[in-house]
């Protein structure tokens, strides 16, 4: 859906003539469509920067964890939420390579929210697969959630009516608790909500995946959790400021994932059973691509 809000000088053309309704509609329909738009490169940070921890053993110096956050349109509150928990966050441009990520020795990698069609984010999806191949803990929000879905081999699609604003009810299917959340997305991940599934990409390379959160208004997928890899994501905004704050716990979950060193157990469980599908190592992936 495209729309326009016109006022003041926007209501007249270059000759001073007042625009009629069809003139305004023509302006709207001439604007680019969102489907196929690769916009992260237009909004990402030009140069990397670091947000130091606000608390911890030596606040501002020794972090409880180091995170590389790929800026796809990141909100400043996201690294702030991590800093509140003692995390040092390196915010890097969308075009960063996996080698550049590894050079920062992260305990975890984060993909932010941002604009655009996830199907157009070819580089970012390949970067994320490099992270998954190396079993580096991953957390994605909004656009980052959609990119995790695509990295795992699921499709994405444009919603007829996007999710916008606050007071959006979402259920955490592990706890059956309902969260009031903030949304701003027009695309969604097409993954099964009635059963766990093997990620379709490359014959199940990334093992099993479950839909962890669903929107109660329309059943849209709002969260993914990998059962055989340390990776999860949500479609909404736990960093929302001024709120709601029901989903703050997701940052703690990310820190738990990084601190635990678990590589195949579902988060928050004591199930130490081996994965049904063993994901490839980075070396095996490199060999397979040669």
CA–CA separation, 210 vs 249, rounded Å?
Answer: 19
**Residue of 90, 142, 183, 226 marked catalytic:** 142
Q: Enumerate residues 6+ apart whose C-beta is below 8 A from 58.
A: none
- Let me know if 239 is a catalytic residue: yes
Nearest to 230 by CA among 203, 200, 195, 268: 268
DSSP 8-class letter at 18: B
**Residue of 145, 183, 213, 237 marked catalytic:** 237
In this structure, the number of other CB atoms found within 10 A of the CB of residue 17 comes to 9
**Residue of 145, 225, 239, 264 marked catalytic:** 239
C-alpha gyration radius of the chain: 20
Nearest to 230 by CA among 153, 163, 135, 150: 135
Half-sphere exposure of 239 (CA within 13 A, CB side): 23
The residues facing 158 across adjacent strands are 187
In this structure, the number of other CB atoms found within 10 A of the CB of residue 46 comes to 7
- Let me know if 283 is a catalytic residue: no
Q: Are residues 128 and 206 in contact, defined by beta-carbon separation less than 8 angstroms?
A: no
- Let me know if 62 is a catalytic residue: no
Q: Enumerate residues 6+ apart whose C-beta is below 8 A from 271.
A: 265
Q: Are residues 136 and 230 in contact, defined by beta-carbon separation less than 8 angstroms?
A: yes
Active-site residues: which are they?
142, 237, 239
């Amino acid at each position: 859906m495209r729309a326009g809000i016109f006022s003041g000088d926007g209501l007249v053309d270059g000759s001073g003539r007042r625009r009629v309704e069809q003139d305004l509609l023509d302006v709207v329909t001439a604007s680019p469509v969102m489907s196929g738009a690769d916009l992260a490169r237009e909004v990402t940070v030009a140069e990397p920067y670091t947000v130091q921890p606000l608390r911890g053993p030596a606040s501002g110096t020794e972090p409880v964890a180091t995170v590389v956050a790929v800026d796809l349109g990141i909100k400043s509150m996201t690294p702030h939420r991590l800093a509140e928990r003692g995390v040092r966050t390196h915010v890097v441009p969308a075009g960063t390579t996996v080698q550049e990520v590894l050079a920062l020795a992260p305990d975890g990698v984060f993909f932010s929210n941002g604009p655009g069609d996830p199907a157009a984010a070819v580089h970012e999806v390949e970067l994320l697969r490099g992270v998954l191949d190396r079993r580096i803990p991953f957390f994605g929000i909004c656009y980052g959630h959609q990119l995790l879905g695509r990295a795992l081999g699921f499709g994405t699609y444009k919603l007829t009516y996007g999710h916008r604003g606050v007071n959006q009810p979402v259920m955490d299917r592990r706890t059956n608790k309902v969260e009031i959340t903030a949304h701003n997305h027009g695309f969604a991940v097409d993954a099964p909500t009635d059963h766990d599934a093997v990620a379709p990409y490359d014959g199940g390379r990334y093992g099993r995946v479950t839909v962890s959160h669903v929107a109660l208004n329309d059943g849209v997928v709002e969260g993914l959790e990998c059962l055989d890899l340390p990776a999860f994501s949500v479609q909404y905004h736990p960093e929302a400021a001024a709120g709601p704050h029901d989903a703050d716990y997701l940052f703690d979950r990310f820190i738990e994932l990084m601190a635990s060193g678990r590589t195949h157990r579902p988060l928050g469980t004591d199930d130490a059973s081996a994965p049904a599908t063993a994901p490839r190592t980075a070396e095996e992936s490199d060999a397979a691509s040669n």
